[in-house]
A and B are shown apart, each in its own frame.
With several copies, the nearest count.
Chain A
């Protein structure tokens, strides 16, 4: 942790933050307070975002970019303002490089999908290779498997070290002249690992490959500068960054968005349509077929504003402190092992662990009876689990509203789990 990050935590008042999130006041069964440690799965939403959604529907609801009337003007202005806000939030200088999708999965499928049909050198075909990693979320694996299967290309991947980091030792054998695309998670949703995406991007660009970064866990947690990563595309998702469901983002370099073929076809993405053939609108419209998630984009704009208000450096510092505290707490329990980096160094907030002798479903069931919400299963990262010889794990993931007291409740709960299942 840098001094800057420590400094940033000083002004961070987690109780004031919590007051913005109505659901955190909720009581569960047996009148237990909610201890929500499933934020890597989806985050909770502050009042500010709920209000933006509600006010949109109540006062300004209209379709966008199509209508010449006052509501249409208002909704269009709000929608495009949200695009500009999101662009600024991730350090993109040109709002036209921000494409709204339905989630990060669609963003990743969009890139993989159009590469099957691209003209010229970008097109992925037989003999070409796509490189991913063994720690990817299924949403950054399956689209590339489908692309490779369908085009005759070959999928290759970075393996992992025992500590849960990318094994970059074979990089020169993996990223070669045959590589067309390299797609990597910035922050792992299972192991928590923060990957050196800028280094990988540099190497990939040397061989002329496109670089896709799955920023789904990075954008909610870290100050992000998409262009600074060196990536060509960065995907992320609204619901994990205190925004609504139903909205994702694909940031892409404008030349690429201009050059690549369309993904979904339909209303709003066209320049002109004749029965005999059509031409496309410039990006971002080109990749936003049909009525977009309007209220959701506006909600995401409010979410970005909310995060900017807290300051992403402060959010990252808080996340870092809580993660370190969680790792420490878990270390204190015998029979518990963490998958992924065990120290809070280059590490995001997802902490996956196994409790010897107790299946993750049973761990989380007992924790739930104490009001502690964690995730049990493979967290959409089966290959990473297989790499560590387990089928599933329990994952605690903190966020900007998480307190140390909540982590204490988690640790206490795990002790109870072990007693309940008589492994303590």
Chain B
């Protein structure tokens, strides 16, 4: 079991110097996710620009406590999704999920996943998959809330 397959240099770099860390204003939704097994937690905020279907991810900020994998993953994710249309970012989420659940048999696409391809090795360490997904789950949940919120405002209006 090669440790280096798991701990790619990119991952350790992001872990030591995480991008976009710290909670920031403005934001449309904030979520808090926990990994029940180890207690790792993340509070994550999403800010979308615009309020219609064509939304873009304007900012992602977070406060996370966790292992190298979960910390690096949320850092890489922020890099990836900030500035992207929500729909494209969601496709990346799905792609990353597929990669993680692929037991190491899925070939990641470096063009779309960029630094996140470094997590391909995590798929071979089942106990760590949840770590790599924690930030993505929190992000997906926050986006769902952010896009639901205005809709329900419209509904009640």
Task: Indicate yes or no for A touching B, C-beta below 8 A.
Answer: yes
* A contacts, CB < 8 Å to B: 28-30, 65-70, 72-73, 76-77, 268, 270-272, 281, 285, 359-362, 365-366, 368-369, 376-378, 382, 385, 391-392, 420-421
B52 within 8 A of A: no
Q: Which of B37, B68, B125, B126 contacts A66 (CB 8 A)?
A: B37
13 contacts between A and B (CB under 8 A): A72-B127, A268-B36, A360-B67, A361-B66, A362-B7, A362-B69, A369-B1, A369-B2, A377-B37, A378-B38, A382-B39, A385-B39, A392-B38
Please tell me if the beta carbons of A377 and B38 are within 8 angstroms of each other in the complex: yes
Would A272 and B128 count as touching, CB distance under 8 A?
A: no
In the bound complex, residues from chain A placing their C-beta under 8 Å from that of B38 are 360-361, 376-378, 391-392
A272 in contact with B127 given A366-B3, A391-B41 (CB within 8 Å) = no
A29 touching B68 in the complex, CB below 8 Å, given contacts A65-B37, A73-B127: no
Report chain B residues within 8 Å CB of A362.
7, 67-69
In the complex the two chains form, is A73's CB within 8 Å of B67's CB? no
Chain A residues with Cβ under 8 A from B127's Cβ?
67-69, 72-73, 76
Cα–Cα distance between A378 and B7 once the two chains are bound (Å): 23
For residue B58, CB closer than 8 A to chain A, the reply is no
Interface residues of B in 29-63 (CB under 8 A from A): 34, 36-41
Complex alpha-carbon distance, A404 and B126, angstroms:
30
Contact present for B34 and A271 (CB under 8 Å): yes
Cα(A65)–Cα(B69), bound, Å = 18
B39–A359 touching, CB < 8 Å: no
B17 vs chain A, min Cβ distance (A) = 13
B36 adjacent to A281 (CB under 8 Å): yes
Known: A272-B34, A377-B38. A391 touches B1 (CB 8 A): no
**Chain A proximity of B132: nearest CB distance (Å):** 11
A359 and B1 in contact, given A66-B37, A76-B126, A391-B41 (Cβ under 8 angstroms): no
CB of A361 within 8 A of CB of B128, answer yes
CB distance from B16 to the nearest CB of A (A): 9
Residue numbers in B under 8 Å from A77 (CB-CB): 126
**Interface residue? B109 (CB, 8 A):** no
Q: Report B's interface with A, CB cutoff 8 A.
A: 1-3, 6-7, 12, 34, 36-41, 65-69, 125-128, 131
Known: A76-B126, A376-B38. A368 touches B1 (CB 8 A): yes
Cβ distance B55 to chain A, nearest Cβ, rounded Å: 27
Residues of chain A lying within 8 A (CB to CB) of residue B34? 271-272
Contact A361/B1 with A377-B37, A385-B39 known, Cβ cut-off 8 Å: no
Of all chain A residues, the one with the shortest Cβ separation from B3 is A369
When the two chains form their complex, are residues A392 and B39 in contact, meaning their CB atoms are under 8 A apart?
Answer: yes
Distance to closest chain A CB from B126 (angstroms): 5
A270 to B38, CA, bound (A): 11
Question: Hey, which chain B residues are within 8 Å of A28, CB to CB?
Answer: 1
Chain B residues contacting A361 (CB-CB under 8 Å) are 38, 40, 66-69, 128, 131
Going nearest first, the 7 A-B pairs with the smallest beta carbon separation are A361-B67, A377-B38, A359-B67, A29-B1, A378-B39, A68-B127, A391-B39
Complex contact B36–A270 (CB within 8 A): yes
User: Taking the nearest CB of chain B, how far is it from the CB of A386, in angstroms?
Assistant: 9
Rounded to whole angstroms, the CA-CA distance of A73 and B6 in the bound complex is 15
Chain A residues within 8 Å of B65, by CB:
391
Contacts of B128 in A (CB 8 A): 68, 361, 365
In the bound complex, what is the Cα–Cα distance between A272 and B37 (angstroms)?
9
* Cα–Cα distance between A365 and B126 once the two chains are bound (Å): 12
User: By the criterion CB–CB under 8 Å, are A73 and B39 in contact?
Assistant: no
The CA-CA distance from A389 to B97 in the complex, in Å, is 32
List the B side residues contacting A70 at CB < 8 Å: 1
How distant is A164 from chain B, measured CB to nearest CB, in Å?
18
A285–B1 Cα distance when bound, in Å, is: 29
Q: How long is the Cα–Cα vector from A283 to B131 in the complex, in angstroms?
A: 19
- CB nearest neighbor in B for A28: B1
Distance in Å from the Cβ of A412 to the closest Cβ of chain B? 15
Does B36 lie within 8 Å of A73, measured CB to CB?
A: no
A365 CB contacts on chain B under 8 angstroms: 3, 6, 125, 128
**Could you tell me the distance in whole angstroms from the C-beta of B97 to the nearest C-beta in chain A?**
16
Residue in B closest to A269 when the chains form the complex, CB atoms: B36
B3, B69, B128, B131: which has the most chain A beta carbons within 10 Å? B3
- Chain B residues whose C-beta falls within 8 Å of the C-beta of A72 in the assembled complex: 127
Q: What's the nearest-Cβ distance from chain A to residue B157, in Å?
A: 27
CB–CB A285/B67 < 8 A: no
Q: Shortest Cβ distance from A256 into chain B, in angstroms?
A: 21
Residue picked from A77, A365, A392, most chain B C-beta under 10 Å = A365
Determine the chain B residues whose CB is within 8 A of the CB of A65 once the complex forms.
37
- Indicate which residue in B3, B36, B67, B131 contacts A420 across the interface (CB closer than 8 Å): B3
Say yes or no: B3 contacts A377, CB within 8 Å: no
Please tell me if the beta carbons of B1 and A271 are within 8 angstroms of each other in the complex.
no
Cα–Cα distance between A272 and B35 once the two chains are bound (Å): 9
- Which chain B residues border A272 with CB–CB below 8 Å? 34, 36, 39
Chain A min CB distance to B35 (Å): 9
B70 to chain A, nearest CB (A): 8
Q: How far is the CB of B34 from chain A (nearest CB, A)?
A: 5
- What separation, in Å, do the CA atoms of A368 and B125 have in the docked complex? 11
> What is the CA–CA distance of A338 and B75 in the complex, to the nearest angstrom?
30
